[in-house]
Structures are given as C-alpha cells and as structure tokens.
C-alpha cells in the first residue's frame, strides 16, 4: 500500500534527524582531539582508515621547518616529517578548545625510516619543561612519547631543541582531552608516561576502543604465562577514575600449569 504524503514527510524528517544526530555524535567523539600529520601538504586533511581519527596538516600550528616525504610504504600519517635544519628551538602551538585548567594527553611520534643515514639526537620539551631526549635506536620503528598535562594557559607548546647532533624532526603530534578527574593524584601539572600494557592481547588498542585514544601495548608471548579472555561484562569500579577501556579489562595473563607445578 502506498504511503500518504504526510507519512512520507514524517519518514523523511526522521531520517534527516537521525543523519544529523549521527554526524553530531561523530564530531563529538573527536571534539577534544587535535591530530597533526607533521610535514603533510598545506591544507590537507584526511581520516585514518585503521582508527577513524581525523588528521590535518601542521601548517596552522608552526611556521618553521621543512616538509619531507620519507616513505610511501607505511600508514599515511608516517609518510612525512617536518625537519628543522634552522633555529635552536622550534615549537608547535596547540590551542585546545577547552583551554586552561583541563587535563590533556600530549603525544609526539617520531618515525625516521630506513636508509636515511644516522638518526639525529635531540631534545623534546613541553613548553619550558624538558620532556625527553629523542634517541632513534631502530629507524624502522615508531617512537611515541606521551605526557599527561594539566594546562595552565589556553596554549600548549611542544618544542624540539637542537643539541648539535643532527636536525630535529617530528612525524606526528596528537592532543587528547581527558576527564579532568583522571590522573589527579597529587595534582601535578604534568605526568611523564612510561608504558601502558594490555596484558593477554595480541593487538594494540587505541581509539575507538579507548575514547581517549590512549595506546595500550601488547607484550610478547612468554612460556611463563598464558593469555585468558572473557566475553562477560567486567566491573570497572576499582578502575573507574582512570576509565580503563572494557576491551582491555577483558583480557589478562595467568601463569601456566608447568610453571605452577615447578613452584609446587
């Protein structure tokens, strides 16, 4: 039976509202994100296939350095870098929407690529504070440095500093708005990240499984333990403050029977 005009209009309005709601939801998912593909062409932007994260060029965040294509055989975000052959100190200026008195995850990623000579050695700073010395031991590997930072102003500066051991560079720079209650013990302005482990898993977890796009790394398989997994709902009560993703909480490791029998 044919639909009346009124019903057709209502159906159309419902579909339109659903479509707009979906778009708003998708935008809100990354409303606290700044994702920069360093060295990519001016004005470029794209969505990374593996994560659904939207990346933009760095031309609006820094006015120094040289863009270089270093590879075509990897994910797009890792195909270019911005190198800094001039100036002692070069800084990106990030302007998060929420501004000061909010807590952020700041992540700088470095990928040098193979067959490009000896990697440089240089310092990384968050504003005026020393963060790390970037030492690229394996040029074919990705190096991610993270900081949890409580912003004291509306601007966040990430700087690379030349220490006369090659030209500094950067591959990607990412900012993620966190809940201000997270990582608040002692209320320091910054927390240096070491490593986040996803026990019992075979793949790295990040956005969308973690809405804050934290990186949860796997461990190599060892004979001393075995991986266990549950599909049941896991109570996050003891971990609610840091909001550990449900997917991470569903896997774990346990010592295997051989190891247990040796102890007994």
Q: What does the pLDDT read at residue 171?
A: 97
Comparing 238 with 95, the larger pLDDT belongs to 95
Q: Tell me the pLDDT band of 219, cut-offs 50, 70 and 90.
A: confident
Comparing 197 with 108, the larger pLDDT belongs to 108
pLDDT at 187 exceeding the cut of 70: no
Verify that 167 and 226 share a domain, yes or no. Answer: no
In a domain, 200, yes or no: yes
Domain-ending residue, one of 192, 220, 235: 192
- Please state the rounded mean pLDDT for residues 67-90: 93
Verify that 173 and 88 share a domain, yes or no. Answer: yes
Q: Tell me the pLDDT band of 166, cut-offs 50, 70 and 90.
A: very high
**Tokens of residue 85, six digits:** 């052959």
Verify that 204 and 126 share a domain, yes or no. Answer: no
In a domain, 137, yes or no: yes
pTM: 0.80
- Please state the rounded mean pLDDT for residues 146-165: 96
- Please state the rounded mean pLDDT for residues 1-21: 41
Instruction: Tell which residue, 71, 68, 66, 46, has the closest CA to residue 56.
Output: 46
Q: What does the pLDDT read at residue 182?
A: 87
pLDDT at 188 exceeding the cut of 60: yes
Verify that 201 and 130 share a domain, yes or no. Answer: no
The span from the CA of 143 to the CA of 44, in Å, is 24
- Tell me which H or E stretch contains 257: helix 257-263
In a domain, 16, yes or no: no
Q: Tell me the pLDDT band of 98, cut-offs 50, 70 and 90.
A: very high
Choice among 62-66, 141-145, 214-218 with the minimum mean pLDDT: 214-218
pLDDT at 239 exceeding the cut of 50: yes
- Residues in CB range of 70: below 8 A, 6 or more apart: 79, 80, 81, 111, 112, 113, 116
Comparing 244 with 202, the larger pLDDT belongs to 244
Q: What does the pLDDT read at residue 162?
A: 98
The span from the CA of 215 to the CA of 196, in Å, is 7
Verify that 230 and 127 share a domain, yes or no. Answer: no
Q: What does the pLDDT read at residue 87?
A: 96
- Tell me which H or E stretch contains 259: helix 257-263
Q: Tell me the pLDDT band of 248, cut-offs 50, 70 and 90.
A: confident
Average predicted confidence (pLDDT) for the chain: 83
Residue 135's CATH number:
2.60.120.430
Q: Tell me the pLDDT band of 148, cut-offs 50, 70 and 90.
A: very high
In a domain, 22, yes or no: no
Verify that 76 and 35 share a domain, yes or no. Answer: yes
Q: What does the pLDDT read at residue 10?
A: 40
pLDDT at 254 exceeding the cut of 90: no
In a domain, 3, yes or no: no
Taking 3-state DSSP, the helix, strand and coil percentages for the chain, each rounded to the nearest 5, stand at 15, 35, 50
Verify that 158 and 217 share a domain, yes or no. Answer: no
Instruction: State which residues form the domain around 81.
Output: 30-192
In a domain, 120, yes or no: yes
Verify that 38 and 143 share a domain, yes or no. Answer: yes
Comparing 16 with 255, the larger pLDDT belongs to 255
The three-point CA angle 49-219-199 to 5° equals 90
pLDDT at 81 exceeding the cut of 90: yes
Instruction: Tell which residue, 61, 65, 58, 32, has the closest CA to residue 43.
Output: 58
Residues in a beta bridge with 251: 229
- Please state the rounded mean pLDDT for residues 88-100: 96
In a domain, 201, yes or no: yes
Comparing 42 with 203, the larger pLDDT belongs to 42
Verify that 237 and 188 share a domain, yes or no. Answer: no
In a domain, 236, yes or no: yes
The span from the CA of 178 to the CA of 213, in Å, is 10
pLDDT at 193 exceeding the cut of 70: yes
Domain count along the chain: 2
Verify that 133 and 92 share a domain, yes or no. Answer: yes
Instruction: Tell which residue, 160, 144, 242, has the closest CA to residue 195.
Output: 144
The span from the CA of 204 to the CA of 80, in Å, is 23
Q: Which DSSP string corresponds to 114-173?
A: SSS-SPPEEEEEETTEEEEEEE-SSTTS-EEEEEEEE-SSS-EEEEEEE-SSS--EESEE
SS (H, E, C) 15-51: HHHHHHHHHHHHHHHCCCEEEEECCCCCCCEEECCCC
């Amino acid at each position: 039976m044919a639909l009346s005009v009124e019903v057709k209009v209502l159906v159309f309005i419902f579909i339109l509202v659903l479509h707009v709601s979906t778009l708003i939801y998708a935008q809100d998912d990354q409303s606290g994100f700044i994702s920069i593909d360093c060295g990519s062409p001016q004005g470029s932007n794209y969505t990374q296939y593996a994560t659904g994260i939207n990346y933009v060029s760095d031309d609006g965040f820094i006015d120094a350095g040289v863009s270089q294509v270093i590879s075509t055989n990897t994910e797009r975000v890792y195909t270019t870098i911005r190198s800094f052959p001039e100036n002692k100190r070069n800084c990106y200026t990030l302007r998060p929407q929420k501004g000061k008195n909010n807590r952020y995850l700041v992540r700088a990623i470095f990928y040098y690529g193979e067959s490009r000579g000896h990697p440089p050695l240089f310092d990384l700073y968050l504003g005026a504070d020393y963060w790390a010395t970037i030492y690229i031991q394996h040029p074919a590997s990705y190096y991610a440095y993270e900081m949890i930072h409580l912003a004291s102003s509306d601007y966040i500066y990430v700087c690379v500093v030349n220490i006369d051991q090659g030209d500094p560079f950067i591959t990607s720079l990412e900012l993620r708005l966190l809940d201000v209650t997270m990582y608040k013990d002692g209320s320091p302005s910054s927390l240096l990240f070491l490593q986040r482990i996803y026990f019992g898993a075979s793949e790295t977890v990040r956005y969308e499984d973690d809405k804050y796009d934290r990186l949860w790394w796997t461990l190599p398989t060892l004979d001393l333990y075995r991986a266990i997994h549950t599909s049941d709902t896991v109570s996050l009560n003891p971990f609610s403050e840091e909001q550990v993703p449900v997917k991470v909480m569903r896997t774990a490791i346990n010592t295997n029977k051989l190891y247990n029998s040796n102890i007994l």
